[in-house]
Amino acid sequence: MGKHARGRSSRKHPLWKAIIIQALLLAGALLVISPFLWTITTSLKPIKSTFEPPYLLPVHFVWQNYVDAWQAAPFPQYYLNTVIVTLAIMVGQILTSAMSGYAFSRLSFPGRDALFLVFLGTMMVPFYVLVIPLFLLVDRIGWVDTYWGLIIPRIVSPFGIFLMRQSFLSIPKELDEAALIDGCSKMGILWRIIMPLAKPAISTLSIFAFLFAWNDYLWPMIATRSPEMYTVQIGLRTFMGKYGTQWVLLMAGVATSTIPVLILFFAAQSQVVEGIATSGLKG
């Protein structure tokens, strides 16, 4: 496929055409990322000069703004909360998805297919249906404003179960057989044989779980009350309400909340693409 595309492009797209396409793509990309550039630029402006005409690339570099923003709101605490909650949800989703995926793809037990269908069916239930009773439930058991309330309802992911099952199905069962003959237990097969071979799918699920947990908004907003338990997103929204007119500080806050995600995205990007392309066992 790649070969065809390349062959096509070199024949059908002479140099000037390629240059035009590049230029258009560049212009579009600049337009798409201009809000990010503008955020960085604004966050580094001296506080007094915000009313000059807006521009995209930074000319001032007032790093003090970041210190001020972090002192104006308990961002370190928000960060700590978000990191704890995000990591717990990631690990939880990987474990629960891998274990259920294993049961649904490798083990045979009564009611397996029906149960899988139930999990699959919940994938399309909007969170709106769950959110009100979930809040009432979490409130009843005293989990509002706790890490438990933020984490436990989020660690089973029907999508993750589906993804793991699909990935495990593509791993040859002969490997299980061999391990079984060598005296490996059923659970041992999951941890020692299947999990290492399903790394691409696991990394794909990790990325989805990370983005889901880090960017989550509605549930943490409902499940937290005190600022000490806020996640970064809720903290930012509150910061906007409080310092809505102090745009320089607000943009410093936005930048610090967004940059870790962007770094992770650009670092893991090739891995994700690879995980999508080579799902399963190849050589």
Query: CB of 79: closest distance to other proteins in angstroms?
Result: 13
Residue 30 vs 67, nearer CB to other proteins: 30
Residue 56 vs 62, nearer CB to other proteins: 56
Query: CB of 211: closest distance to other proteins in angstroms?
Result: 6
Residue 40, phi then psi, degrees to nearest 5: -60, -45
Read off the tokens for 247. Answer: 């745009």
Query: CB of 283: closest distance to other proteins in angstroms?
Result: 20
Distance (Å, whole) CA 14 – CA 161: 47
Query: CB of 61: closest distance to other proteins in angstroms?
Result: 20
Q: Angle CA(120)–CA(131)–CA(203) in degrees, nearest 5?
A: 50
Which residues have C-beta within 8 Å of that of residue 99, sequence separation ≥ 6?
190
Query: CB of 80: closest distance to other proteins in angstroms?
Result: 17
Residue 161 vs 209, nearer CB to other proteins: 161
Contact 154, 162 (CB under 8 A): no
Tally DSSP H helices, then E strands, for the chain.
15, 0
Residue 147 vs 265, nearer CB to other proteins: 265
Residue 122 vs 146, nearer CB to other proteins: 122
Contact 121, 113 (CB under 8 A): no
Looking at residue 239, its amino acid is F
Residue 50 vs 62, nearer CB to other proteins: 50
Read off the tokens for 16. Answer: 């000037």
Query: CB of 228: closest distance to other proteins in angstroms?
Result: 19
Distance (Å, whole) CA 111 – CA 54: 62
